[in-house]
Amino acid sequence: MEKVALLRCEEYDVDLIEKKLREGFQLLGGDSFLRQLIPENSRVLLKPNLLSVEGAGSPVITHYAVFEAVIRIIKEYSSDITFGDSPGFGDPRKAAEKSGLMEVANKYGVKFDDFRETVHVKLDESILCKSWDVAKAAYESDVLITLPKLKTHAMAYFTGAVKNQFGCISGTQKASWHTRMPDANNFCKMLLDLNTVVKTSFAILDGIVAMEGNGPRNGQPHKMDTIIMGKSISAVDSVGVRLIGYDNPLDTPVLKEVADHKWGTVLPKDIQVLGETIDTMKARNFKLSRTGGSFYFKSPAVTKFLAKMLAPNPVLIPDKCIGCKRCQEVCPETPKVISMVKTGDKFNPTWDMSRCIRCFCCQELCPVGAIETKHSTIGKILGHNKR
Ligand code: SF4
Ligand code: SF4
């Protein structure tokens, strides 16, 4: 039985979060658990979610107060702590500085790694992907502690502890993975292989203020007062998705792949939730995002045809668009699916949907939330992944 600690924490107050995390570690086995988790002289890497360059306290990224509380505890077990991430857009160091994490790190002598240095790794026993270039600091750490943010995600429905390691792919290389894995289910299989390469020892999911709706960047904050922690990243996510409304965790693409490939623990019957209960911590009226998904038919031609008919599309909200062209820049396809067309005194994006792979990088990284994902009319009628 996999143990996961579920804690109520109502504020981003460092002392309070530290107290809660200590309670969580106590539930999981206390000091001896921590000593096993972080053996003497271990190099520890903290992997927050720095999706893009965001201001301190933004619900898009791991909160600096959670980061500080984690450091306070981990430094009792290791003097060699690094943190790192590689945002999908923007300079990693700037992202770390603006988020407030760098200031906290400097206070405790924690080093920063921008994940630009990578190592090539072969994964013979893979589900899908055998060849990898991943951040050296993540691959070579002895103990990787992932610090995800609880958010919706247009393609994967949910981003938490499993998805957070996509940041271990350096910067622009993420785009090529989107091109290679345009299908949500293959993308999720790829995430599992990545998590086999970059082994995570522990996860602490920041759901004090989560993100609902048009996540992972442009949704709304949703106060959930929640921290979830455990050794199994899939079990932590399984608890997370149940809190936001997926009573069956297998209704989310990543966790379905976890179960199908027996990659990790995901079923409620295999997870012991310690501390609070799921029923008492469940979010009310949490706005989900369920536009991803896959289409499997024997004939590839039929699959391709139906995928186009049923798939959700990125859709512009013209009033919000500031014409910055970032959506065009981050589109991984060559040539770009998005063209910028002059409309009045500014440029607006337009899409050639016949070539769009529905990776939703444009939606994810638009700085002002001017792109949403919407199902086609036929997709809505047939109810594909509609919510
Ligand atoms: S849709 Fe967003 S990313 Fe694209 S040009 Fe407009 S504001 Fe920029
Ligand atoms: S247009 Fe958007 S969803 Fe389509 S391939 Fe480009 S980034 Fe992905």
What's the CA-to-centroid distance between 108 and ligand 2, angstroms?
40
Which residues contact residue 292 at a Cβ distance below 8 angstroms, ignoring those fewer than 6 apart?
Answer: 153, 154, 155, 156, 157, 184, 253, 312, 358, 360, 385
SS (H, E, C) 303-349: HHHHHHHHCEEEEECCCCCCCCCHHHHHCCCCCCCEEEEEECCEEEE
pLDDT band at residue 219 under the 50/70/90 scheme: very high
- Tell me if 340 sits within 8 A of 328, measured CB to CB: yes
pLDDT band at residue 358 under the 50/70/90 scheme: confident
Fold type of domain 300-382:
Alpha-Beta Plaits (3.30.70)
User: What does the domain layout of the chain look like in residue ranges?
Assistant: 2-281, 300-382
- pLDDT value for 88: 81
* Residue 333 near ligand 2, beta carbon < 6 Å: yes
Which residues contact residue 225 at a Cβ distance below 8 angstroms, ignoring those fewer than 6 apart?
Answer: 8, 9, 10, 207, 208, 281
Task: Compute CA distances 164 → 18, 62, 85, 258, 318, whole Å.
Answer: 22, 11, 9, 15, 31
The predicted model gives 352-378 an average pLDDT of 87
* Residue 366 near ligand 2, beta carbon < 6 Å: no
For the cut 90, the answer to whether the pLDDT of residue 80 exceeds it is: yes
pLDDT in tens, 25-44: 999 999 999 999 999 999 99
pLDDT in tens, 156-195: 899 999 999 999 998 878 888 888 887 888 999 999 999 9
What's the CA-to-centroid distance between 372 and ligand 1, angstroms?
11
What's the CA-to-centroid distance between 337 and ligand 1, angstroms?
14
pLDDT in tens, 261-298: 999 999 999 999 999 999 999 999 999 987 654 444 44
What's the CA-to-centroid distance between 209 and ligand 1, angstroms?
26
DSSP string of 29-52, one letter each residue: THHHHHHHHS-TTPEEEEEE---S
26-30, 40-44, 324-328, 377-381: which has the minimum mean pLDDT? 377-381
**Residues in a beta bridge with 341:** 348
The pTM assigned to this predicted structure is 0.88
For the cut 60, the answer to whether the pLDDT of residue 385 exceeds it is: no
Pairing verdict, β 149-153 and 202-212? parallel
Same fold, 2-281 and 300-382: no
- pLDDT value for 359: 87
Helix axis angle for 64-74 and 101-108, nearest 10°, is: 20
* Residue 283 near ligand 2, beta carbon < 6 Å: no
* Residue 44 near ligand 1, beta carbon < 6 Å: no
175-179, 224-228, 381-385: which has the minimum mean pLDDT? 381-385
Mean pLDDT for the chain overall: 91
What's the DSSP call for residue 187? Answer: H
The predicted model gives 237-246 an average pLDDT of 98
- pLDDT value for 299: 52
- pLDDT value for 386: 39
Which pair of tokens denotes residue 102?
A: 């760098």
For the cut 70, the answer to whether the pLDDT of residue 387 exceeds it is: no
Ligand 1, atom 2: nearest CA belongs to which residue? Answer: 366
Phi, psi (5° rounding) for residue 36?
Answer: -70, -40
Peptide bond into 335 cis (omega under 30): yes
For the cut 90, the answer to whether the pLDDT of residue 303 exceeds it is: no
Pairing verdict, β 338-343 and 202-212? unpaired
Ligand 1, atom 4: nearest CA belongs to which residue? Answer: 327
The predicted model gives 363-387 an average pLDDT of 72
- pLDDT value for 102: 98
Ligand 1, atom 7: nearest CA belongs to which residue? Answer: 321
Q: What percent of the chain has pLDDT over 70?
A: 92
What's the DSSP call for residue 212? Answer: E
- pLDDT value for 176: 85
* Residue 371 near ligand 1, beta carbon < 6 Å: yes
Q: Which burial class, exposed, middle or buried, applies to 192 when counting CB atoms under 10 A from its CB (0-12, 13-18, 19+)?
A: buried
- pLDDT value for 29: 98
* Residue 357 near ligand 2, beta carbon < 6 Å: yes
Torsion-angle region of residue 39: left (phi > 0), alpha (psi -120 to 50) or beta?
Answer: beta
- pLDDT value for 304: 58
Answer CATH for 2-281 from 3.30.559.10, 3.30.1540.20, 3.40.50.11440, 3.40.1190.20: 3.40.50.11440
For the cut 70, the answer to whether the pLDDT of residue 58 exceeds it is: yes
Closest by Cα among 210, 225, 283, 211 to 7: 225
Closest by Cα among 194, 195, 159 to 360: 159
